[in-house]
Each structure stands twice: as structure tokens, then as C-alpha cells.
Amino acid sequence: MKEKFFKWVAGAMGMLLLSYGFLLWHRKATAPPADMKLYYSVSTQLSEGKIPYRDFTVEYPPLALLPLVVPHLLTAGMTLDYRAYSLLYLLETFLLLLLIAFTVQRVARFWPESLSPWRLLAVYLLLIILSKDFVFWRYDLFPAWLTLLALLAVLKKQPLLAGLWIGLAIMAKLYPVILVPVLLVYYLAGQQYRASVRLVAGTALAVSLVLLPVVFLSGSQVFSFLTYHQLRGLQIESVAGGLVLLGNVADLSRVSTAFNYGAFHLEASGVGSVLKALPGIFLASFSGLLALGWFRFRREYGQTGTISADSLLRFVLGALLVFISTNKVFSPQYLIWLLPFVLFLPVKPIAWMGFIFLLTTLVYPVFYSQLIEPTVFGVLLLTARNGAFLFFFVHVVRKNRPSSSFQNLSPTPYPNR
């Protein structure tokens, strides 16, 4: 009976999502968002034979160009106006959503006693609907899918393939680089030494295969996307930015914002010091997470001879949460990075993440003007979202009791180390 209910729910939400997507396309085709205008510009210049990084600037890593240029590839290089491009890009987005759904179902086989395929799909669609204002016009679904494929490869005891997927994901968005240390700790704690070497080798191979041809064509200019992000200021939606705003809530007239590097950044006293402190905060937080992961993995391996898929999942999520919360930028599409992984958590943390998705939608785009010109309401709303995000992090990495199904289906050490 429950399966039938979830089938109806998933079907209804799927139709709602499709309808909303095309309605959104009709509206955005006449008033394109900034990201889509950038994607269209990059894709058009690529289709004209221009060399990225050399002939025109790109703020993304090389593999990010693939999802951007797909609409032109589908039309064999024909000239596309923005309306046609955005429609094809929307169809590409639906394809990526389907690929993630398919991969989620394959990963779910490691949680057979607790995860219904139709329940998974219904929750997945619900989170997409909650993030509808930023999921359709961002390419972040692409690296999110690649990182999910990496997790699947790890669970299937394919460390070389996991490294290849992670390497490709790094070349698409950079952020997946933080997952490499987590997976290394996972393998080393389980005494899977050859697997750790294969993971690193696969990652290096994928990065080289993508990066070297672009370096050959563009030279050192290919690394300009790193400089672009280094020069960015403190974004108003970031956790640190929210704290700066909260500290000035008594007199918000002392705070202003400036639009540059594709986002609104804070201009207020203390912002420079915060920016200098953030790298150290990230390193300390991430090191602490890795140390906690090592301790948990070693203890679990010593007790059961395995490390459960659930334990690995929680520290993968923990790494992403640390990176986002200590970053100077917290764009709403960053939640897409978490989307494929939160589906495997228990009901309560999934509901909490749904609440975070909802608050993020209220922050952007509903009440975004109250951050651009800060108001008390806007600051408190952002504080609530960021506070919920940090609480979710604590909930994810706290001590959990893996079920027997997790333990029995988790990866086992290689017999020859």
C-alpha cells in the first residue's frame, strides 16, 4: 500500500516539476538570468571555434564547459538564439535529474531494508521542487552526479573508477577535491592500502586527461578561473557574511553591498579580517572532521571488520558541509551538491534538509532585496538558514548506530593489501 502511495506521489510531483520547468523556461526566455546569459555566451563562443581561457575568459574549470556547450552540440553547431538554447539546456537539466535518480537507485541497493525506491524518488522530487528556483539554471547537477558516481564506485569496491569520477568532478566544479581525503581516510582506516593508491591514481589520471589538452591550447591562462575566485569578496549569503550582518544588526546603515564577480559582496568593517581568517577556519574544521572520521572508521573496522556505507556517507556529507559553511561564498545552488547524498539519511535529517532548502528559497530569490539593502528581517532570515545548516552538520556527523543491513553490505577490505 505504501509503495502504491509513493508511486502516485512521485508521479504527481514529476508532472508538477515538468510543468513548472517549461513555465519557468517560457518566463526566463524573455528575461534570462545572469548565469544562463553567461552559459549561452560561453557555448556560442565555443561553437564559433574560439579557445576558452585564451580567446575569452571562463570562471569555471575546463570540464564545466561540457554541459554548457551540449545545446550547440545537439544542433551540430547550428546558430542558436537564446530562446532555443535555454530550451535545450532545460531538457539537458531534466536528463541530468533522471541520471541522478537512476544512480540513486543503484546506490540504494546498499540500504535495502530501510529505503524504498519509490520513497527515495518521492523525497528526491520534493527536494528538487523546493530548490526549483536555482536547480534549473545551474550546471551544478553535473558535478553532483559525478560525485554520486564516485560514491557508487567506492561501494562497489572499484577505487580506480571512484578516482576517475572524482577527478572528472574536480575538473567540473573544484569542490569535490575535498572528498579525496575523506575517501583516503576511509580506505586507510579499513587497511585497504592498494585501494587508496588506486583512488589517487584514478583522480590524477582524470584530472590530467581533462587539463593537459586545455593547457596545450590555452597555456597557463587555463588557471585564470582560480584567480577569479581568489579575488572574490565575502558574499552576503555566506555563513561568515551572515555573522557580519548579525554583528551590525543594530545599525545596518554601516553595511553596504557591491556587485562584482557575479554576486553581491559585503562592504563593512571587519570583512577583511574575516576573509583572512576563513582559510584557517576551514583547515582546522576539515582537519578535525578527518580526525573524527579516522577514529570512527578505525573503531567500526575493529569491531565489525567493515566500515558501513552509512558511516562513509555521513563523512562525505560532513566534508561538503564544512566546505560550504567555511567558504566565503554560499550560493543557493551549493545545496545541489548535497542533494544526492541526503536521500540516504533517516527521515528526520531529510526533513531538516527540506527545511533548509525552503529557507534558502526564501533568502533567494524571495527576500533577496532585503540582503542587498540589509534589513533586520533579511538578516534574521539568513541567520536562521545558516543556523539550521550548522545544526544539520552536527546532526550528520554525530555518533550513529549503523544497522546490520549497513554493515553486511558495506565494502570489505581487499584480501591482498
The answer to whether the CB of 240 falls within 8 A of the CB of 76 is: no
Task: Say if 337 falls within a structural domain.
Answer: yes
Task: Say if 240 falls within a structural domain.
Answer: yes
Task: Say if 92 falls within a structural domain.
Answer: yes
Task: Say if 175 falls within a structural domain.
Answer: yes
R_g of the chain computed on alpha carbons: 22
The predicted structure's pLDDT at residue 62: 96
Q: What is the pLDDT of residues 316-355, one digit of tens each?
A: 999 999 999 999 999 999 999 999 999 999 989 999 999 9
Task: Say if 156 falls within a structural domain.
Answer: yes
- 105-114, 125-134, 341-350: range with lowest mean pLDDT: 105-114
Mean pLDDT confidence for 378-403: 88
Task: Say if 415 falls within a structural domain.
Answer: no
Report DSSP state, residue 235.
B
Task: Say if 163 falls within a structural domain.
Answer: yes
Mean pLDDT confidence for 72-85: 87
Task: Say if 416 falls within a structural domain.
Answer: no
The answer to whether the CB of 309 falls within 8 A of the CB of 410 is: yes
In angstroms, the CA 296 to CA 314 distance is: 11
The predicted structure's pLDDT at residue 40: 94
In angstroms, the CA 67 to CA 47 distance is: 13
Region at 78 (left for phi over 0; alpha for psi -120 to 50; beta for the rest): beta
| 112: containing domain | 2-409
- Band the pLDDT of 409: cuts 50, 70, 90: very low
The predicted structure's pLDDT at residue 415: 34
- 52-61, 106-115, 291-300: range with lowest mean pLDDT: 106-115
Please indicate, yes or no, whether the overall pTM of this predicted structure exceeds 0.75.
Answer: yes
Q: What is the pLDDT of residues 158-203, one digit of tens each?
A: 999 999 999 999 999 999 999 999 999 999 999 999 999 999 999 9
Q: How many domains are contained in the chain?
A: 1
Structure-derived torsion over alpha carbons of residues 211, 212, 214, 220, reported in degrees to the nearest 10: 90
266 DSSP β-pair partners: 257
The predicted structure's pLDDT at residue 405: 37
The predicted structure's pLDDT at residue 112: 67
